[in-house]
A and B are shown apart, each in its own frame.
Chain A
Amino acid sequence: MSELLHTPAADLAGLIASGRASSREVTQAHLDRIEAVDAGVRAFLHVDGERALAAADAVDAKRSSGGQLGPLAGVPVAIKDIFCMSGAPTTAGSRILEGWRPPYNATVTQRVLDADLVVLGKTNLDEFAMGSSTENSGFFTTHNPWDLERIPGGSGGGSAAALASFEAPLALGTDTGGSIRQPASVTGTVGVKPTYGGTSRYGVVAMASSLDQPGPCGRTVLDTALLHQVIAGWDPLDSTSIDAPVPDVVAAARAADVKGMRLGVVKELGGEGYASGVEQRFREALDVLADAGAEIVEVSCPNFRYALGAYYLIMPSEVSSNLARFDAMRYGLRLGDDGTAGAEEVMARTRGAGFGAEVKRRIIIGTYALSSGYYDAYYGSAQKARTLIARDFERAFEKVDVLVSPTTPTTAFRIGERADDPLAMYAADLCTIPSNMAGNTAGSFPCGLAPEDGLPVGFQVMAPVLADDRVYRVGAALERQLADRWGGLLTDQLWARENGGAR
């Protein structure tokens, strides 16, 4: 049974399709694993074993009756609890939505179900995806499987921890400023933010609509690409979705070939504030890719230094507008409705009690940045900085095929370490935010353990709009080269540690 937990999703699908394992066996193994380890990891907000096994049985029945199975049919997946799923609790990590069960599926959820994946449950996140550690979850903090006293990243820490603890072979995330890539980085897993508009936002609880982007998470690059292919593509229900063919990310992951590619190292994403082990593993990864035939050059993106500041004006502005929908009228929590209090009072009391500290901070910053007299100085300037960041990318991509950097400046920090220091917490997204601002695609791939603390380091690959395949091509080449040196994936080392070194 334990071998099934350790098998990549692509291979699990093969076992299921050929009848060597049933989807029920695979699903049950993962449910048992969740039962065994999630009390310590706390990756899941909600697990529905009955629903998962029923879905698994349906796949097994489809197979035995000769039905056509997709490339991930019968494989379990964990869904970040920000995607609506019909009948399943969807909280976005907030008390204000506790107990709400959406009457419809997000497009991404629907595509996962249509592709016959088996949904295990919903994973924990920072409230409304606002955070880099899951400590802002309205329910509890998720722990990093590499060291349970450390954060698993955020906001998608639940999905990343579920992967690293072998509770699920695949997971879904959303990335507004790094919420897929930073958790992938600190858990030694893979996560990709598709090109903005590459995946549908319909049915995803909105945080900052011009930045939010759903994406795939996995332990291998190919698994992640297969999930990307399932969820991506035009959706008429999302007006910002791109009506163009999905780049062939699966072929790129299989090719794993960087010969002749030009990789630009972003000069500004390194140096002061970056852990020495992070910089060391990053440089070693560059050497590995150079050995595999890539050309490494240095590139300057001078306006990236404004990205964090611009992000913390644009994002809260959009947050303050998007979260106005939590008004205690149509769904979610309502407090103080005693028959005499008016609607506005009920609304304010409900929002005061239902939102956590970080959500309140961001709504109020956004309200300030958008208020008359400050709008031009703050929001207007931030939008101009956004233009300059996008231009830096354009200029860089004239010279190189992809840009690379560490995914996040440090390895996983300790739970509680940055909880009372918002600015220190925000710095975790320093390298990931530029791609959200410009809307291009980027992914994080494991590149080793930092010597000083033995914790995973992530290698970020950024590619132009609709060149998602390049992210996978470079990530897969790195994975292949490193696997040759290590004798497997980075997460295999975690597995071996837990299972006495036996593969």
Chain B
Amino acid sequence: MALTTSEVARLAALARITLSQDELSRLAPQLDVILEAVAQVTEVAGDDVPPMSHALPLTNVFRPDQVRSSLPVEAVLAGAPAVEDDRFRVPRILGEEQ
């Protein structure tokens, strides 16, 4: 189960987090220790035990389909890193390898 730095780098890439070489070499052994400690839960995973995803047995919850006012555009854009023409301005999204 030992995690290599290249595996951690792959996970970080999946999570869209840039990590320095330093961080990678510090994280790998730490994650290893944590994963080893939590692995004991696999002991209890009997087929007869149903998984629990949530504390309460809720099914779909609906609210009445009523028109409500939304936040003003200026209020929402006030916190944006970049704005253009009353919209969020984002870096280019095409032409990347992934």
Q: Which residues on A are within 8 Å of B, measured CB to CB?
A: 100-104, 196-197, 210-211, 236, 239-240, 242, 303, 306, 308-310, 312-313, 320, 324, 327-334, 337, 341-349, 351-353, 355, 357, 360-361, 363-365, 367-368, 371, 377-378, 380-388, 390, 422-423, 437-440, 465
Contact = CB atoms under 8 A, between A and B. Distances in A.
Interface string B37-49: 1111111111001
A381 B81 contact: no
A103 B41 contact: no
Given A210-B53, A387-B52, A439-B56, A330 B44 contact: no
Nearest to B17: A351
Interface in B1-32: 3, 8, 11-20, 23, 27, 30-31
B60 to A, nearest CB: 8
Given A309-B41, A332-B81, A390-B55, 17 more contacts: A197-B56, A210-B53, A308-B38, A310-B41, A331-B81, A337-B81, A348-B17, A348-B18, A351-B15, A353-B18, A361-B30, A361-B31, A364-B12, A371-B11, A384-B45, A384-B50, A386-B51
Contacts of A363: 15, 17
Contacts of B18: 348-349, 351-353
Interface of A is mostly: helix
Nearest 10 interchain pairs by C-beta: A439-B55, A352-B18, A383-B51, A334-B81, A103-B75, A381-B45, A239-B61, A309-B38, A196-B55, A331-B79
Contacts of B80: 330-331
A337 B16 contact: no
A351 B44 contact: no
B93 interface: yes
19 contacts: A101-B79, A240-B61, A310-B38, A312-B34, A337-B81, A343-B90, A344-B96, A346-B91, A348-B13, A352-B18, A364-B15, A364-B17, A367-B11, A368-B11, A383-B51, A386-B52, A387-B51, A390-B55, A439-B55
B31 A364 contact: yes
A377 B35 CA distance: 12
A389 to B, nearest CB: 9
A334 B44 contact: no
B71 interface: yes
A329 B27 contact: no
Given A367-B11, A387-B49, A104 B44 contact: no
A86 to B, nearest CB: 9
Contacts of B53: 210, 383
A342 B93 contact: yes
B41 A381 contact: yes
B89 to A, nearest CB: 9
Interface of B: 3, 8, 11-20, 23, 27, 30-31, 33-35, 37-46, 49-56, 58, 61, 63, 71-72, 75-76, 78-82, 88, 90-93, 95-96, 98
A344 B91 CA distance: 9
Interface of B is mostly: loop
Given A236-B63, A337-B81, A309 B17 contact: no
- Residue from the set B40, B46, B55 with the largest chain A CB neighbour count within 10 Å: B55
Contacts of A100: 79
A384 B51 contact: yes
- Residue from the set B3, B44, B46, B49 with the largest chain A CB neighbour count within 10 Å: B44
Contacts of B58: 239-240
Contacts of A349: 18
Contacts of B12: 360, 364
Contacts of A236: 63
Contacts, number: 185
B79 A303 contact: no
A390 B52 contact: yes
Given A313-B38, A344-B96, A382-B41, A388 B55 contact: no
Contacts of A465: 55-56
B44 A368 contact: no
A339 B52 CA distance: 46
Given A310-B41, A329-B81, A352-B19, A368 B54 contact: no
B65 to A, nearest CB: 12
A312 B17 contact: no
B42 A377 contact: yes
A176 to B, nearest CB: 12
Contacts of A308: 37-38
A235 to B, nearest CB: 10
Contacts of B17: 348, 351-352, 355, 360, 363-364
Given A102-B79, A351-B18, A364-B12, A330 B55 contact: no
Contact of B27 (A310, A361, A423, A440): A361
Contacts of A324: 16
Contacts of A344: 16, 96, 98
B81 A328 contact: yes
Nearest to B47: A384
- Residue from the set A330, A368, A422, A437 with the largest chain B CB neighbour count within 10 Å: A368
Contacts of B13: 348
A329 B49 contact: no
A384 B53 CA distance: 9
Given A103-B71, A309-B37, A309-B41, A210 B55 contact: yes
